[in-house]
Amino acid sequence: MPTTQVQQSSLPERGIAKAPTGVAGLDEITNGGLPRGRPTLVCGSAGCGKTLLSIEFLVRGATEYQEPGVFMAFEETAEELTQNVRSLGFDLNKLVRQKKLALDFVRVERSEIEETGEYDLEGLFIRLNAAIESVGAKRVVLDTIEALFAGLENEGILRAELRRLFRWLKDKGVTAIITAERGDGTLTRRGLEEYVSDCVILLDNRVIDEVSTRRIRIVKYRGTTHATNEYPFLIDEEGFSVLPVTSLGLEHEASEGRVSSGVPRLDTMLGGEGFYRGSTILLSGTAGTGKTSLSAHFVSAACERGERCLYFAFEESPGQLIRNMRSIGLDLAKCVKKGLLNIHSSRATFYGLEMHLALIHKMVQEFKPDIVVADPIGALVAAGTRRDANLMIIRLIDFLKMRGVTTMLTNLTPGGAALERTDVDISSIVDTWLLLRDIELGGERNRALYVLKSRGMRHSNQLREYLLTDHGVELLDAYMGPEGVLTGSSRMSLEARERAAVLASQQESERKQRERERKREALEARIVALRKEFESEETESEFRAAEDVARRQQLEDDRRNIAVSRHADEGNGAARSRRKMSTK
């Protein structure tokens, strides 16, 4: 029993101890932070954010983790540094006053220095030590120590001393960041990676197609697992943030709940109930097919239900969108006023991709929407390369899915391009894909819609024409012609023909009805005539029968009278007549 306990308690210590940086996202990709008590090398070319990353490491350490820090600058003076980071909301002076931070500026000017004989860098050690002790520092940044190579001639001494310095930092137990310029084909210009080998982080600022993207990568991290990808990061008014969301989070819960598309007949096409909640819906189509209008329906219906919507418009301003949607009878202004709808407009080219992504992340985290619309998602290609845009959108979709947000993306299919593809190649990761297209028939273009795919539901396979009316999107009945679905005037003429046919058949049946009526009347007339004939015959025969009776009676009377006149025996006569009657 005790042994298992020991094993359990020693488990977390098996990996190396880490010092959380507090820099958004960096702790995720390093699985907890930088190696505690060891130096980390941060390298990158000029202007890629090395100083900023390291200063934020110190500021977060001092303010969030109670770990005071020392910043030793070799390139900027303390005043310059303080001013530079003030724009990010870091008040270094205040931290210095609170004894949470010590700044030391080391200047080496080769023109002032003559070297004669042997020396060491004990002065640097003493200064660093004094600074560490003045605030009880747990974190140290040396930015950029390579400046020493420019100031001092004797590289042999310098290298030996640097090696000693990094050793000394380890012995001191401080978590250190050493920044270095990226060299030509090497990580650092002076080969510092040779001395600092526990953790190496590479920052990069690449310009592709005139759009710059900052990226961060962990080149190595001894003794621990870490993420190996390149991650975009950005520097905004709140500092440094890394976006470690490439992890294709396929662990999101699949909701059984449904959410209406806002167009009742479209819901019918989607298994009768609309989209799945938390799914990703792609609306793609050529220009002017009503992508935005359908999205607006979706949003408007959601707001009616009291759900929160975030609408990213990359091509229209909120005012324009509201005005345009009013023309199809949707009052988005009301939703905005109620605080349920937030329309965020920004040109795709205004920022780089990672900035867009970060912005969307931030707004989603703040606004907590149930529904997010990005219209049109393809516009983001303009903010980067297609590949990057694709990666970014996948990241975005995963992020939104994990939060259970129902996402509607619209995508413009360029004229002439294949309809069933998107310029950001995301069609395979969306759950429901509605294709909007125009059908050219009989000299006119009409809009039609169909459900190209919809995972997990019985969806309609019909191509349906729809109209943008002043009371919204209206799906029409499907009319099939010999060449496919009929739309517009063809549909109308077919409708007219059908109406005519119905009328004709109605008339025909009425005619038949009348004929039948006539026949029945004729029949009945004949029946009456026959009955009359029969009746007259009957009367005749009755009359004759009565005559017979009367004649017989007469005969009997006559006979009796004769008998009376003969005075015949009454009894005989009576018996005879009775016998005659019975034989009759």
Q: Shortest approach of another protein to residue 153 CB, angstroms?
A: 9
| Positions in 90-129 near another protein (CB under 8 A) | 104, 106-108, 112-124, 126-127, 129
The minimum distance between CB 86 and another protein, in angstroms, equals: 23
Measured from the CB of residue 149, what is the shortest distance to another protein in angstroms?
A: 12
- How many degrees, rounded to 5, is the angle at CA 198 between CA 121 and CA 202? 95
CB of 11 to another protein, least distance (A): 42
Interaction between residue 169 and another protein (CB under 8 A) = no
Nearer to another protein, 127 or 265 (CB): 127
Residue whose C-alpha is closest to residue 363's, from 319, 311, 302: 311
Question: Toward another protein, which CB reaches closer, 112 or 171?
Answer: 112
Rounded distance, CA 323 to CA 333, Å? 9
Nearest 5°: phi and psi at 579? Answer: -65, -40
**Rounded to the nearest 5 degrees, what angle is found at the Cα of 363, between the Cα atoms of 357 and 366?**
140
Q: Helix/strand/coil (H, E, C) string of 23-78?
A: CECHHHHCCCCEECCCEEEEEECCCCCHHHHHHHHHHHHHHHCCCCEEEEECCCCH
Rounded-to-integer distance, Cα 472 and Cα 263, Å: 8
Least distance from C-beta 130 to another protein, angstroms? 4
Instruction: Say whether residue 152 binds another protein (CB under 8 A).
Output: yes
Q: Compare residues 162 and 259 and give the one whose CB is closer to another protein.
A: 162
Residue 72 C-beta: closest distance to another protein, Å: 10
- Report which secondary-structure segment, H or E, holds 64: helix 50-64
- Give the per-residue contact string, 352-391, with another protein (x = CB under 8 A; - = no): ----------------------------------------
Q: How far is residue 377's CA from residue 384's CA, in Å, rounded to a whole number?
A: 12
Q: Which stretch binds another protein (CB under 8 A): 145-153, 344-352, 392-400, 529-537?
A: 145-153
Residue at 364: amino acid letter: V
Q: Tell me the closest approach of the beta carbon of residue 382 to another protein, in angstroms.
A: 49
Residue closer to another protein by CB (options 123, 249) is 123
Q: Based on the number of CB atoms within 10 Å of its own CB, is 359 exposed (0-12), middle (13-18) or buried (19 or more)?
A: middle
For position 163 contacting another protein by CB under 8 A, the verdict is no
Least separation in angstroms between residue 148's CB and another protein is 7
- Residue placing its CB nearer to another protein in the complex, 112 or 253: 112
**Sign of dihedral through CA atoms 322, 326, 327, 328?**
positive
Q: At what angle do helices 488-566 and 570-583 cross, to 10 degrees?
A: 150
| 155 counts as binding another protein under rule CB under 8 A | no
Residue 417 token pair: 């391009």
Q: Judged by CB, which is closer to another protein: 117, or 416?
A: 117
Q: Is 281 helix (H, G, I), strand (E, B) or coil?
A: strand
User: What Rg do the C-alpha atoms of the chain give, in angstroms?
Assistant: 49
Q: Residues interacting with another protein, by CB under 8 A?
A: 104, 106-108, 112-124, 126-127, 129-130, 148, 151-152
